[in-house]
Amino acid sequence: MRRRTWTAVAGLFGVLALGGCSGGGQDGGQGGGAAPTGGAAGGTYAVITHAAAGDSFWDVVKNGAEAAGARYGVTVGYQGDGDPARQAQLIDQAVSRRVDGIVVSMANPDALREPVGKAVAAGIPVITINSGAERSREFGAITHVGQSEEVAGRGAGEKLGAEGVTKLLCVIHEAGNVGLDQRCVGASRGLGGTVERLQVDVRNLADATSKIMARLQADTALDGVLTLNPAVAAAARDAIADSGSRARLATFDLSADVVAAVRDGEILFAVDQQQYLQGWLPITFLHLHRTNLNTVGGGLPVNTGPGFVTRETAAQVARLAENGTR
């Protein structure tokens, strides 16, 4: 693990030395047709994610990709769709446009095997981000940028265990997302106690609140809740309060509400995969590949996390989030 981590960190330092990161608070950018930034003369890159509409996590990824596009003078078009079939269609469309590179998140890898394969067969370099690290090389991507979900989950489980949690509710908000399952598996290994799973829908937060509250009321032995999305974290916070539960809450990923809740002691910590880098680094890597035939990672993923935002660091992170970079 040390060797894998050092490879990734070395790659990060080498790339970040090329130029400083800057953030631009662009519009939400979910769905098709986000306006590209940068100049076409330097290359055209498509970023296609499994983002659900209104998910602030992916706004930060988009900001990172567009900032890198502006930095290198390349065109970056961002699109997101939570439906795997529609995400596959967006990849096919990018291949038809003969873009110079594709960045894709693979929450449901099997659904994307064919379109990613078409891109690779057409000679278009592909970089995967966020989800699908285990399948990235198999599909022909030149590297993966993200965090090891199992390792991050294990770290979260260990921290919750250190806080005295013995029975944990792991809340999954997207059915079929392999990365979310890996987070719960890791949490189970790190906690060393009982971990139960609860399926909710991130598109219906009121229902998510109700389901979490019902589960906590039905089993008072549940003394911890781990959410895997910042919006669901807010729903879980309300559910804990409304149910009268004393469960401790932690979450994956950041939002302004989550950072404020960590600062105020309502959430123990947030696992930070630094998603700005998941936008910035792939555009940087594709630009270097196109202009200098560089590859990064040596066949291993480039890790952007996990980091942990705690009460001690939340105020500083909140100031950075104002720039759209956290």
pLDDT block averages, 10 residues each, the chain of length 326: 39 39 34 46 91 85 97 97 96 98 96 98 97 94 95 97 97 92 96 95 96 98 97 97 97 93 97 96 97 92 95 94 85
Report pLDDT for 200.
Answer: 97
The per-residue b/e assignment along 116-132, b for 16 or more CB within 10 angstroms, e otherwise, is: bebbbeeebbbbbbbbb
With CA atoms as reference, report the closest residue to 169 among 130, 199, 139. 199
Domain spans in the chain, listed from the N-terminal domain onward: 2-147+274-305, 149-272
Report pLDDT for 103.
Answer: 98
Report pLDDT for 256.
Answer: 87
CATH superfamily of 149-272: Response regulator (3.40.50.2300)
Contact 36, 44 (CB under 8 A): yes
Edge-to-edge strands, sheet with 270-272: 194-199, 167-172, 224-227, 248-252, 270-272, 307-309
Report pLDDT for 41.
Answer: 54
Report pLDDT for 53.
Answer: 77
Read off the pTM: 0.77
Residue 190 tokens read as 């790190």
Residue 39 tokens read as 């100049």
Residue 303: CB atoms within 10 Å: 25
In CATH terms, the fold of domain 2-147+274-305 is Rossmann fold (3.40.50)
